[in-house]
Chains A and B, each alone.
Chain A
Amino acid sequence: MTEAPVHALTPPVSDADPFAHQNLLNPEPLHQALREAGPVVHLSRYDVHALARYEQVHAALVDWQHFESGSGVGLANFRHEEPWRAPSLLLEADPPRHDAPRGVLREILAPPALRRLRDTWSAAAEELVDQVLGDATEFDALPALAEAFPLRAFPDAVGLGPEGRENLLPYGNMAFNAFGPRNDLVAADAHRAAALGAWVNTQCERAALTEDGFGAAIWAAADRGELTHEQAPLVVRSLLTAGVDTTVHGLSACLYAFATHPEEWQRLCERPELARTAFDEAVRWQSPVQTFFRTATADVDVAGTTIPEGTKILMFLGAANRDPDRWHDADRFDLTRDPSGHVGFGMGIHQCVGQHVARLEAEALLTSLARRVESFELTDTPRRHTNNTLRAWESLPIRVHPAA
């Protein structure tokens, strides 16, 4: 990325609405059209520039100097518009203010720090899988597994109390809708926004958190001066906002993938050490987080197009993750593929700080399932859930054939 040249190209224009229901439910045709239209496409409906090819999405993600997050990573431009809640100190911040919260959270969620959770989560996954399979062989895998496991493992790890955890998924759903336009999906959440926000904010206070979780570790960092005590609850809030729905839909992407690709499930059962790779391949293939915006900090040249200073750029992570110039047979879910380098977790200084937590959850659940389940298949057409940012499911009805 460089400063703008004198003779800039006029990018192709599209009047498509990426946030229209049919595109949220089935984004691949739009992604393909945008990738083929050019490296930069102007979306006339929202007056933003869109990037859908891997090369440009990756470059914009890592270039925080030219593509800032502090003006919001949704459509709303915080330079002119009021954020719907106090901006995130991580997702919606730039260096230098981004440094301290990111540094604290990064260390708390780094792989060496998570080792203590591995056995706990393996046991929790075994228990859940035993219980679900003991009850029935036909069930909806979304609530029974993809929601139940993260809702058990993650809030415990953060240190939340037992009450009110049912608020976590609706809060995340609302937060991820808020990155889109003020459409019907946002309106549908409006009646409970205040109540959900108040509940989440209460959970971020020190007194609400157990003494051994990620939340307490954040407050302890504030005691050491690595954060201010005013910042600590907002950093806890980031965990609660970004740590649940994303994992649920990453896991449901795995379960959908394996229900529809029995030969890949066979491969995983034979080599359970592929669980982490399987999760990342599912994240590449489905991209639970489909889009994020940035804002240009200067007139920026992208592949010959000048993106004006202060305007929004929409990055299609899902489209980049299926760009045929980057991925062989990109639309195929394939455990023999190396998904390394996908942008499903983002890339650069804002890359998902909880990705190792998500992988550990996925590894625990998939490994337990691989021990107990020989094969599974869909019993009905699964239904998508519409969200302005998340590629999500409403239901995943499956039938399980237990291992002998």
Chain B
Amino acid sequence: MVGTSVVAEGATSTDPRRTGSSSAVTLTVAAKETVAEGVVSLTLTHPNGGRLPDWTPGSHIDLILPDGTTRQYSLCGDRWDAHTYRVAVLREPAGRGGSAYVHDRLRPGDRVGVGGPRNNFPLVPSEKYLFIAGGIGITPLLPMVRQAELLATEWQLLYGGRTRASMAFREELAAAYGERVHIVPQDECGLLDLNAWLEGPNADTKVYCCGPAPLLAAVEQAAASWGPYGLRTERFTARTDQAEPLRATPFEVELRRSGRAVTVSPGVSVLEAVRGAGVDVLSSCEQGTCGTCLTPVVEGRPDHRDSILTDHQRAANDCMFVCVSRACGDRLVLDL
């Protein structure tokens, strides 16, 4: 998500998947374009042109910028194109610098690190959907809208923003879907009339909302009678555990059972380093999606980059997927 991190509410699950390459963690900025006032979109590709890990609507990636800052952004492209990711980034004056870097310094051809994709905001089956976007919160909802179309499910999109010019993708949405899309710029129309839209509850409809905190609070209040699973939201909040930059320096991994230690350099996976030290670890996808290389952590804090563990499982710091995950600190001790 934009400039800040996301915390999703509701169920978690996804199935982004692997492809052939084992080095999908560094991608190339293939294109950068302005898509609305203060919003640029980035197109990311694999340096060797290979497939990228699969994803589902609602997924986000960790974007690790060349200056080391890490931010999370929703994937808003087309997953039938296995070779590109697309994210859209709002310039946030009050943000922590990630969006400013993307807007001011990032150029086509630059390399960025990518973790995930992970999905804490999956689209669950429903007879009808009501999508509510606030500003740049449109990004995870874009692939959901396309998916609802593919499923021939009834849906409507309520899209609010400060001004018409600041609302990314409004023209392509209106052109593609006509009256299912309700564009509501605040300076022309005022705030979204949430009480009218969320009159209900309607058991046939799932509500998906992404946007700034005041919008989510208003939606939660208006949808209070919809029950715990009728409304699913994705929230922009700074999350301290994701705020640390990626280590740009090597770290030590001790393999306690084998009595060995190995230094892991940037650009080398823990899996590769461990194998280099002569210790076998069974793996399969090598993209952090299949789960085969789960390794118990004895000491140290892993920098999780997989698509599998929930936030709760990540916080336990007791296991990691060594094909993509790394270390936050100088040292990790693994039960290998």
Interface residues of A, Cβ cutoff 8 Å to B: 58-59, 62-65, 95-100, 102-104, 106-107, 110-112, 221, 224-228, 231, 273, 276-277, 280, 338-342, 345, 347-349, 351, 355-356
Can you list 25 residue pairs at the A/B interface with Cβ under 8 Å? A58-B20, A62-B17, A62-B51, A64-B54, A96-B150, A96-B151, A97-B151, A99-B56, A100-B123, A102-B15, A106-B14, A110-B308, A111-B294, A111-B308, A112-B319, A227-B125, A341-B286, A347-B18, A347-B285, A348-B17, A349-B54, A351-B17, A355-B290, A355-B292, A356-B291
In the assembled complex, the CB of B275 is this many whole angstroms from the nearest CB of chain A, namely 8
Question: Closest 9 interchain pairs by CB?
Answer: A103-B13, A225-B229, A349-B17, A340-B283, A111-B294, A102-B15, A62-B19, A107-B13, A96-B147
A339–B51 alpha-carbon span in the complex (Å): 23
Decide if B309 is an interface residue (CB 8 Å cutoff): yes
In the assembled complex, the CB of A351 is this many whole angstroms from the nearest CB of chain B, namely 6
In the complex, are the beta carbons of A63 and B51 less than 8 A apart? yes
Name B229-245 residues within 8 Å CB distance of A.
229-230
Decide if B79 is an interface residue (CB 8 Å cutoff): yes
In this complex, what residue of B is CB-closest to A97?
B151
A355–B56 alpha-carbon span in the complex (Å): 22
Collect the chain B residues with CB atoms within 8 Å of residue A347's CB.
18, 284-285
In the complex, are the beta carbons of A338 and B280 less than 8 A apart? yes
In the complex, are the beta carbons of B125 and A231 less than 8 A apart? yes
In the complex, are the beta carbons of B18 and A226 less than 8 A apart? no
In this complex, what residue of A is CB-closest to B291?
A111
A228–B204 alpha-carbon span in the complex (Å): 11
In the complex, are the beta carbons of B122 and A100 less than 8 A apart? yes
Decide if B202 is an interface residue (CB 8 Å cutoff): no
Decide if B282 is an interface residue (CB 8 Å cutoff): yes
Decide if B82 is an interface residue (CB 8 Å cutoff): yes
Contact of A225 with B54 at beta-carbon distance under 8 Å, contacts A100-B124, A112-B313, A112-B319 already known: no
In the complex, are the beta carbons of A348 and B294 less than 8 A apart? no
A118–B302 alpha-carbon span in the complex (Å): 24
In the complex, are the beta carbons of A345 and B20 less than 8 A apart? no
Contact partner of B122 among A62, A95, A99, A111, CB < 8 A? A99
Given contacts A99-B122, A338-B280, 5 further A-B contacts (CB under 8 A): A96-B56, A100-B125, A224-B228, A226-B122, A355-B284
In the complex, are the beta carbons of B229 and A110 less than 8 A apart? no
In the complex, are the beta carbons of A226 and B124 less than 8 A apart? yes
In this complex, what residue of B is CB-closest to A104?
B13
Decide if B301 is an interface residue (CB 8 Å cutoff): no
* Residue-wise interface mask of B (169-211) relative to A, using a CB-CB cutoff of 8 A (1 in contact, 0 not): 0000000000000000000000000000000000000100000
In the complex, are the beta carbons of A95 and B56 less than 8 A apart? yes
In the complex, are the beta carbons of A107 and B17 less than 8 A apart? no
Collect the chain B residues with CB atoms within 8 Å of residue A339's CB.
282
In this complex, what residue of B is CB-closest to A335?
B280
A349–B290 alpha-carbon span in the complex (Å): 9
Decide if B11 is an interface residue (CB 8 Å cutoff): yes
Collect the chain A residues with CB atoms within 8 Å of residue B151's CB.
96-97
A36–B260 alpha-carbon span in the complex (Å): 43
In the complex, are the beta carbons of A112 and B125 less than 8 A apart? no
Contact of A65 with B82 at beta-carbon distance under 8 Å, contacts A58-B20, A96-B151, A351-B290 already known: yes
Residues of chain B at interface, number, CB under 8 A: 46
Decide if B156 is an interface residue (CB 8 Å cutoff): no
A110–B294 alpha-carbon span in the complex (Å): 10
Collect the chain B residues with CB atoms within 8 Å of residue A342's CB.
284
A129–B280 alpha-carbon span in the complex (Å): 28
In this complex, what residue of B is CB-closest to A340?
B283
In this complex, what residue of A is CB-closest to B80?
A65
In the complex, are the beta carbons of A226 and B54 less than 8 A apart? no
Collect the chain A residues with CB atoms within 8 Å of residue B292's CB.
340, 355-356
Collect the chain A residues with CB atoms within 8 Å of residue B317's CB.
none
Collect the chain B residues with CB atoms within 8 Å of residue A65's CB.
80, 82
In the assembled complex, the CB of A264 is this many whole angstroms from the nearest CB of chain B, namely 15
Contact of A277 with B308 at beta-carbon distance under 8 Å, contacts A62-B18, A62-B20 already known: no
Decide if B43 is an interface residue (CB 8 Å cutoff): no
In the complex, are the beta carbons of B15 and A106 less than 8 A apart? yes
Collect the chain B residues with CB atoms within 8 Å of residue A112's CB.
294, 308-309, 313, 319
Contact partner of A341 among B257, B275, B284, CB < 8 A? B284
A286–B82 alpha-carbon span in the complex (Å): 32
Decide if B23 is an interface residue (CB 8 Å cutoff): no
Q: Which of B19, B150, B151, B286 has the most CB of A within 10 A?
A: B19
A96–B14 alpha-carbon span in the complex (Å): 12
A91–B44 alpha-carbon span in the complex (Å): 30
Collect the chain B residues with CB atoms within 8 Å of residue A348's CB.
17-19, 54
In the complex, are the beta carbons of A340 and B282 less than 8 A apart? yes
In the assembled complex, the CB of A280 is this many whole angstroms from the nearest CB of chain B, namely 6
In the complex, are the beta carbons of B13 and A59 less than 8 A apart? no
In the complex, are the beta carbons of A277 and B280 less than 8 A apart? yes
Name B141-166 residues within 8 Å CB distance of A.
147, 150-151
Contact partner of A224 among B11, B51, B57, B294, CB < 8 A? B11
In the assembled complex, the CB of A302 is this many whole angstroms from the nearest CB of chain B, namely 14
Collect the chain A residues with CB atoms within 8 Å of residue B263's CB.
none
In this complex, what residue of A is CB-closest to B126?
A225
Contact partner of A351 among B51, B124, B284, B308, CB < 8 A? B284
Collect the chain B residues with CB atoms within 8 Å of residue A62's CB.
17-20, 51
In the complex, are the beta carbons of A99 and B15 less than 8 A apart? yes
Decide if B12 is an interface residue (CB 8 Å cutoff): yes
In the complex, are the beta carbons of B15 and A345 less than 8 A apart? no
Contact of A103 with B125 at beta-carbon distance under 8 Å, contacts A95-B56, A110-B291 already known: no
In this complex, what residue of A is CB-closest to B230?
A225
In the complex, are the beta carbons of B229 and A277 less than 8 A apart? no
A225–B128 alpha-carbon span in the complex (Å): 13
Name B215-238 residues within 8 Å CB distance of A.
228-230
In the complex, are the beta carbons of A349 and B285 less than 8 A apart? no
A273–B294 alpha-carbon span in the complex (Å): 14
In the assembled complex, the CB of B13 is this many whole angstroms from the nearest CB of chain A, namely 3
In this complex, what residue of B is CB-closest to A111?
B294
A339–B275 alpha-carbon span in the complex (Å): 13
In this complex, what residue of A is CB-closest to B15?
A102
A339–B119 alpha-carbon span in the complex (Å): 29
Collect the chain B residues with CB atoms within 8 Å of residue A277's CB.
280, 282
Name B269-305 residues within 8 Å CB distance of A.
275, 280-286, 290-292, 294
In the assembled complex, the CB of B159 is this many whole angstroms from the nearest CB of chain A, namely 22
In the complex, are the beta carbons of A276 and B122 less than 8 A apart? no
Collect the chain B residues with CB atoms within 8 Å of residue A106's CB.
13-15
In the complex, are the beta carbons of A226 and B11 less than 8 A apart? yes
Contact partner of B15 among A58, A103, A340, A356, CB < 8 A? A103
In the complex, are the beta carbons of B13 and A226 less than 8 A apart? yes
A356–B150 alpha-carbon span in the complex (Å): 32
